[in-house]
Amino acid sequence: MKFASQKVAYWFFASAMLLFVLQLVYGFIMGFAHVGLDVLHQWIPFNTARAVHTNLLVFWLLLGFMGAAYFIIPEEADQELWSPKLAYIQLIAFLAVGVTALAGYHFNVWEGRKFLEIPRPLDYLVVIDVLAFLLNIGMTMLKGKRHTTTSMVLYMGLLFAGLLYLPGMIYFDNQTMDSFYRWWVVHLWVEGVWELIMGGILCYLLIKLTGVDREVVEKWLYIIVGLTFLSGILGTGHHYYYIGAPRYWLIVGGIFSALEPLAFLGMAIYALAMAKKGGRKHPNKIALTWSLGCSIMACVGAGFLGIAHTIPQVNMYTHGTLVTAMHGHLAFWGAYAMIVLAIMAYAMPLLTGRKLWDSPVATWAFWTSNIGMSFMTGAFAVAGITQVNLERRMGFDFLAVQHEIEMHFIGLLLAASLFTIGILLFIWNFIRHGLPTDEALGADIESSPAEARS
Amino acid sequence: MLSKSQAKIFFLGGTGVFTAAFLALTFDTHRKVPAQTRQANITPAVDRGKHIWEDNNCMGCHTLFGEGAYYAPELTKAVERRGKPWLKMFLKDPEAMFPNDRKMVNYHFNDAQIEDVIAFLEWCGNVDLNGFPAKPPLAEKMKATSAAPVVTTKPVPAIFDMMACRGCHSLGGQGGMAGAALGAPPLDDVYKRKNKAELAAWISDPAKVKPDTKMPKIPLTPAQLEEIVTFLSSLGN
Ligand code: HEM
Ligand code: HEM
Ligand SMILES: [Fe+2]
């Protein structure tokens, strides 16, 4: 690492890992409930487990993004972080708000809108906290000696993620409009501005790990995020087919959302091409493995499994079934969980000065978690397709069908166990790195001539 | 090949154009939604129902307009599917209606709150969702291949709807949607299987006859029980 203030990133990453484990625990609670083992129902009913599971996901990903920004921006701007103290305050406040919200879900306190369950007063605190974060990063960039495309794209992604949170806070007595603006947050995040964040981090990692010329990598970054917005903004229409919005959304949403996979395909091709092109042999191979894996799994989970149910005629039957859960898991994992794990795999040795990148634990973590998640996706897929056929196409009753597909949830639980082992290995490796230290400052552990150039 | 600055223009230009298009369509959606959703029918009861819906995060188990969780039934057409009397009885005590099955939370709603929830669901059921949920396309074909059941043509007394029997059982060719999964048989020919005394014993407390049954105990006055048993056993004549 180059600047002492980059160390704050460590604490964001560590908190993220802690919350990730907790997310998995609540995933298991839901998985067991689906096979009829809902012994916790009285204390943690399904809707509590679900809100906690999905909110923890968003929460740890945001912590991961913030950590990534605190690590990347000082280096890109060639400037110490504006205020490390503000960063720590902002981290603690963010955790406090989050934990309060999660605790509230156990006492039936929430807003009851999927993914945006946080009660209104806490929403305002989240906004203030994110503003503090944006200020800190923004000031660092302003004072910086260097203004790179990578950092601009990353910053714009974070800024618009903050802004787009606001429409989700407007109240409508009309359920249709309520849902209409809920998607401004949910869809425009994951299929819009978060892709900028992902693109920015991926771009940074490729420059560092492959040694390909910055100008070339950043040109492609523009094209890819251009494709993202070109398709993703009007692609929001794929959530407006069947909620009471006008019919033209079937056409607009259908066409533009079908184009969305292009951005993910572009991202995968670009990452693989850069890795091939780059002559550089960076010693941290596992970070490159995570980066490339991320671009490929995002392309499968978001791109391929997204387009599989985005055509209105298909979505009519799959809308609101386990098919959506299948897509949701692999897309979030591939695009966002993996990019956060990738930047962590890259940053940890630099923060702590310990080169654990060759350790078999790191390699096992990658493969076990990815194979586990692929099987989970498969289990959701079989359950989802069976549900669509029996319930939506043949007209069997909901509960009767659920009992028919219980078996596939046993499969899900087995796959989830494999996945969890992978994640625990990753965290074990994370812990083995120890704490960040000033001794790692300026140490050239990357030892490669390309470093001097970038 | 594109230069970096051309790529930047592609990004900024594209984003500008499509954002503008999206905002224009959003504006138009605001104009059209009131008619399409029958916004004028949003009474205070519907709004109260929506608040109950949100305050309890019903969406954390159910879907509505196909959005939410995949643990419990889609509720957009719940009123049409089950009928109000059945829903009222169900919401009073969800577990009693589905003993030994997947659990819903019992919110101990009072009658006014139940009315509000049903008003909200009824309003949702009348929104024009561009054809969602579709009629199951294979259901007709399957019906054609199974034998036609016996269906009475006698007028069915109101008590069967009032006490939610037809929520689970079909009778006179109607109802039975909620019971299909539980194995609730049509009642048109139940006289063949149970005599008057057996019917009375069963209906007054099913679990006493068959402890693991999925039929709930429905609170009936002796007169109501009499009316039901008499009607059912008269179907054989
Ligand atoms: C990384 C990017 C993506 C992530 C994280 C993601 C995640 C999700 C999640 C969590 C849902 C459920 C949302 C809810 O019901 O509240 C969803 C729904 C959906 N996604 Fe994605 N998605 C991504 C990209 C895509 C892409 C590129 C497409 C299309 C090609 C797509 C198509 C859909 C469709 C059609 C639905 C609606 C499913 C339904 O009707 O129930 N997604 N996505
Ligand atoms: C131990 C592993 C996991 C298990 C057993 C698990 C299980 C589940 C279950 C049962 C649901 C609810 C489906 C329903 O409504 O019925 C769910 C929802 C969800 N989970 Fe997981 N999960 C796990 C890990 C993950 C991971 C690692 C991610 C993200 C990377 C994730 C993202 C999601 C999302 C986005 C939803 C909402 C999906 C939607 O609304 O369509 N889960 N999970
Ligand atoms: Fe979407």
**CATH number assigned to the domain comprising residue A38:** 1.20.210.10
The domain tally of chain A equals 1
Determine, for residues A399 and B98 on separate chains, whether the beta-carbon distance falls below 8 Å: yes
Ligand 2 pocket test: pick from A19, A29, A44, A53 the residue with the most ligand atoms within 8 Å of its Cβ.
A53
Secondary structure (DSSP) of A54-116: HHHHHHHHHHHHHHHHHHHHHHHHTS--S-HHHHHHHHHHHHHHHHHHHHHHTTT-S--STT-
Looking at residue A210, its amino acid is: T
Per-residue pLDDT at B109: 97
* Cα distance between residue A135 and residue A133, in whole Å: 5
In this prediction, residue A451 carries a pLDDT of 43
For residue B174, what is the enclosing H or E element?
Answer: strand B174-175
Q: Ligand 1: distance of its center to the CA of B226 in Å? A: 54
Domain, as residue range, for A11: 4-452
- The residue assigned the tokens 């990148």 is A357
pLDDT in the model for residue B165: 86
pLDDT tier, B178 (very low <50, low <70, confident <90, very high otherwise): low
pLDDT of residue B163: 77
List beta partners, residue B68. Answer: B63
pLDDT of B63 above 90? yes
Chain B: closest CA distance from residue A49 (Å): 9
pLDDT in tens, chain A (454 residues): 889 999 999 999 999 999 999 999 999 999 999 999 999 999 999 999 999 999 999 999 999 999 999 999 999 999 999 999 999 999 999 999 999 999 999 999 999 999 999 999 999 999 999 999 999 999 999 999 899 999 999 999 999 999 999 999 999 999 999 999 999 999 999 999 999 999 999 999 999 999 899 999 999 999 999 999 999 999 999 999 999 999 999 999 999 999 999 999 999 999 999 999 887 678 999 999 999 999 999 999 999 999 999 999 999 999 999 999 999 999 999 999 999 999 999 999 999 999 888 899 999 999 999 999 999 999 999 999 999 999 999 988 898 899 999 999 999 999 999 999 999 999 999 999 999 998 888 876 775 444 433 3
Identify the bridge partners of residue B171 per DSSP, sorted by sequence position. Answer: B174
Nearby residues of A227 by Cβ (< 8 Å), 6 or more positions away = A259, A262, A263, A266
Q: Whose CA is nearest to atom 21 of ligand 2?
A: A27
Q: Mark yes or no for CB contact A41/B72 under 8 Å.
A: no
The pLDDT, as a whole number, for residue A375 is 98
Find the A325 Cα to ligand 1 centroid distance in Å. 9
pLDDT in the model for residue B81: 83
pLDDT for residue B65 is more than 90: yes
DSSP classification of residue B106: -
Tens digit of each residue's pLDDT (9 = 90 or more) over B81-102: 888 888 998 999 998 888 778 9
Q: Which atom of ligand 2 is nearest to the CA of A332?
A: 30
Q: Is the bond into A360 cis (omega within 30 degrees of 0)?
A: no
Nearest chain A Cα to B105, which residue? A45
Ligand 2 within 6 A of CB of A324: yes
pLDDT of residue B83: 81
Is the C-beta atom of A315 inside 6 A of ligand 1? yes
**A206 ligand 2 Cβ < 6 A:** no
Q: How far is B163 from chain A (nearest CA, A)?
A: 21
Q: What pLDDT was estimated at residue A442?
A: 81
